[in-house]
Structure 1
Amino acid sequence: MTNLFKALVAGAFVAFVASGCASGPRYKDVASSIPTLKEAQGRIYFYRSSSMFGAALQPGINLNGTVVGKSQPGGFFFVDEPAGQYVVSTATETEKTVSFKLDAGETKYVKTSVGFGLLVGRVIPSLESTDEAAKSLEDLHYTGAPQISASK
């Protein structure tokens, strides 16, 4: 392989991986414009760090069986839902879940992380503390996920 060809392949790979990362305004730039919660609802933030590891893995994020967004490296989004029991799931070669109770006025934070799998990586949802999420969200990009309710 010539050096020029190697450079072109490397450039194409970087462009491919970068195109999969979230773009849009950063959390710190939109935080003040995020609407306040309605009285009977809670809010669930979904986010993923901007690691290059597993960047091509971007499965849908399901909330009680309804796709509410996508796990994108460097991205976040949120949904507002009525108080109740919720199950967040992601699936690549296997399905991974996390369950929790959401109270009215409460905010929960679900981080999705890439782990090793047998054939492909796995995207694993986990509940995070407010403090941990606040540190992580600061530089992430809003993915503009549609506000789809899981509580139809």
Structure 2
Amino acid sequence: MNKLLKALVTSAFVTLVASGCASGPQYKEVASSIPTLKEAQGRIYFYRSNSMFGAALQPSINLNGTPVGKSQPGGFFYVDEPAGQYVVSTTTETEKTVSFKLDAGETKYVKTTVGFGLLVGRIIPSLESPDEAVKNLEDLHYVAAQTTAAVQQAGASK
């Protein structure tokens, strides 16, 4: 009976944790269908490894104060933005940021990792090299950025 209870608890835990992980097509399945950049824009990829450590922590990722997605274990997404200065932030018990300049035609890669906090873990954004990032993206799953058709349409009509 004790073994059965342990098996059920373990199964429930794995299901609970796995449900928080990204699920969608893998990078290698969607890479060829990612559109080319528009002339005056740059691209920012956001990604997080598939580690189960801190899997329940999935805060919003903000770009210059606007939510663009969530830090999901095993997930990635991208946004195309005009050239300029950007601040990426995540907040759990404390806000963590990384700042950078994005040039037209440039691609930046922001990795989010779990760090230790006083009461809860922290999600820490950092810039990664293109070589390292592309290697890490291979097995991650695409999750759409936090945009809506209405927001995109409003931006297009300006």
| TM-score (normalised: structure 2) | 0.91
Whole-Å separation in 2 of the counterparts to 1:86 and 1:15: 37
Whole-Å separation in 1 of the counterparts to 2:103 and 2:79: 14
- List per-residue Cα deviations over 1:44-92 (Å, max 9, x = no partner): 0000000010001000000000000000000000000000000000011
Q: Which residue of 1 aligns with 2:18?
A: 18
- Equivalent residues, number: 150
Q: Which residue of 1 aligns with 2:118?
A: 118
Gaps of 5+ in 1: none
2:129 partner letter:
S
Whole-Å separation in 2 of the counterparts to 1:32 and 1:7: 42
What secondary structure, in the 3-state scheme, does the structure 2 residue paired with 1:3 have?
Answer: helix
Work out the percentage of aligned pairs sharing the same amino acid.
83
2:6 partner letter:
K
| TM-score (normalised: structure 1) | 0.95
How many angstroms does 1:133 deviate by? 0.3
1:76 aligns with 2:76: yes
1:134 aligns with 2:134: yes
Instruction: Find runs of 4+ consecutive structure 1 residues off by over 6 angstroms.
Output: none
1:85 aligns with 2:85: yes
Gaps of 5+ in 2: none
Whole-Å separation in 2 of the counterparts to 1:47 and 1:146: 14
The answer to whether the 8 Å contact 2:67/2:146 transfers is: no
Greater helix share, structure number: 2
Computed over aligned residues only, the root mean square deviation of the Cα atoms, in angstroms, reads 1.4
Whole-Å separation in 1 of the counterparts to 2:139 and 2:5: 35
